[in-house]
Homo-oligomer: A and B are copies of this chain.
Amino acid sequence: MQVQRLGWQALPDGSRAIFLLDLGSGSDWQQALAQLRRRNPASQLIALGLDSEFALMRDALRHGCDHCFPRQMSHPAIVAHILELQDSQQEDAYRVLIVDDSVTAHALIRRALAEQGVETRALTDPAQVLDALRDFQPDLLLLDMYMPGCNGVEVARIIRQHPEYLSTPIVYLSGETDLALQVEALRLGGDHFLTKPFNPVFLNAIVKSKIERYRALRRSMLHDSLTGLLNHTSSKSQLDMALEQCRQQQKPLCVAMLDIDHFKQVNDRYGHPVGDQIIRSLAWLLKKRVRHSDILGRYGGEEFLLALPGASLSQGFAVLELLRQDFAAIHHPYGDGYFQLSFSCGMAAFPAISSREDLIQAADDALYRAKRGGRNRVECA
């Protein structure tokens, strides 16, 4: 991510960027904003420093802003939001599972969704739906209402017996226009009801809006608001899943617990906003360095969990040693000068240690030894 500071006149056109706009400064920002919007259709325009006042936000959105961040929003929260926006631009393709006994319907639906880059898988036999949910991990289910052996509502109810698919929206596609049936279908676990023959534009709009909504919801509930990393609870559940996978594939997995050294002194000496900034800068460093498949969470106040599936203890140690050196080299600005910090780290690995609880405990014990041994070091269990 490159950051540039520009005046309104010097804003470039045509590139895909995130624009942070200070709308408080100019008088006729509405016109300037509308022009910027026209020239940069693929960019994200964010208004900063607005009072959270209805009319002002309405005007900013009306003239082309994608997001408004109110004046009282803290800088770390703003950065966390921007990181989230960037993440969501790099997201995986949307995946839709189609359950319909007609292969003609499959072809029509798949063609319509493929035009918007949505990945699809189609089933004719509803009895295979649980296996397909597990293997394909779809973002959304399109369910035909009438199939031999069972109807769509029954399929939806069976899926809703499984808590792990609670956040997978279900959209019915049916020739049925009976209102009572639609009511019953929505009551029993469905999210939307579309009638056949479907309009491809409308189908795509429903599918995309539902998926975006549920992905955003999951993001906000599973991530820490200060850093955008996984929160404590979702760090643990993601580690459970990765561990299960490594067990099946007979691969190692390496867990690191990191803790910023003398962090309390940072808060006491420079104040909490600077402390938050430090946490964010370490989060940012870690995020830039880990792979898509790694698990990175804020485990506590100044404590982070990093899990590297496929990495042995010695491979993990090499990664963390480098991160430790790089973090210790950062100059954190304060007033006219700067200060430097370090973190301590404890590591443990599967399969030498087999359960999630024991891995975290062993890494925590090693972290304690790193602290006692003088800090700014990585220790292995």
Residues of A near any B CB (own CB < 8 A): 52, 54-55, 57-58, 61-62, 67-70, 126-130, 150, 154, 157-158, 161, 163, 166-167, 179, 182-183, 186-187, 190-192, 199, 201-202, 205-206, 208-209, 213, 216-218, 220-222, 224-225, 231-234, 301, 357
Contacts and interface: CB of A to CB of B under 8 A. Distances in A.
9 contacts: A52-B130, A54-B130, A179-B199, A183-B201, A183-B205, A217-B217, A232-B233, A233-B233, A301-B357
Contacts of A213: 191
Contact of A61 (B52, B158, B191, B209): B158
Given A127-B55, A166-B220, A232-B232, A183 B202 contact: yes
A325 to B, nearest CB: 29
Given A52-B130, A150-B58, A68 B161 contact: yes
A158 B58 contact: yes
Given A70-B161, A221-B221, A232-B233, 16 more contacts: A54-B126, A54-B158, A57-B158, A61-B158, A68-B158, A68-B161, A69-B161, A163-B220, A167-B221, A182-B202, A186-B206, A191-B213, A192-B192, A231-B232, A233-B233, A233-B234
Nearest to A157: B61
Given A58-B158, A231-B233, A301-B357, A202 B179 contact: yes
A83 to B, nearest CB: 14
A240 to B, nearest CB: 11
A381 B68 CA distance: 42
Contacts of A201: 179, 183
Contacts of A127: 54-55
A154 B64 CA distance: 12
A71 to B, nearest CB: 13
A213 to B, nearest CB: 7
User: Interface on chain A toward B: helix, strand, loop, or mixed SS?
Assistant: helix
Nearest to A237: B225
Contacts of A182: 202
Nearest to A57: B158
Contacts of A301: 357
Nearest to A67: B161
Contacts of A221: 167, 218, 221-222
Contacts of A62: 154
Contact of A166 (B58, B154, B187, B216): B216
A28 B209 CA distance: 45
A233 B233 CA distance: 6
Nearest to A184: B205
A187 B158 contact: no
Contacts of A58: 150, 154, 158
Contacts of A186: 205-206, 209
Lowest 7 A-B CB distances belong to which pairs?
A: A183-B205, A54-B127, A221-B221, A231-B233, A186-B209, A232-B232, A233-B233
A126 B186 CA distance: 29
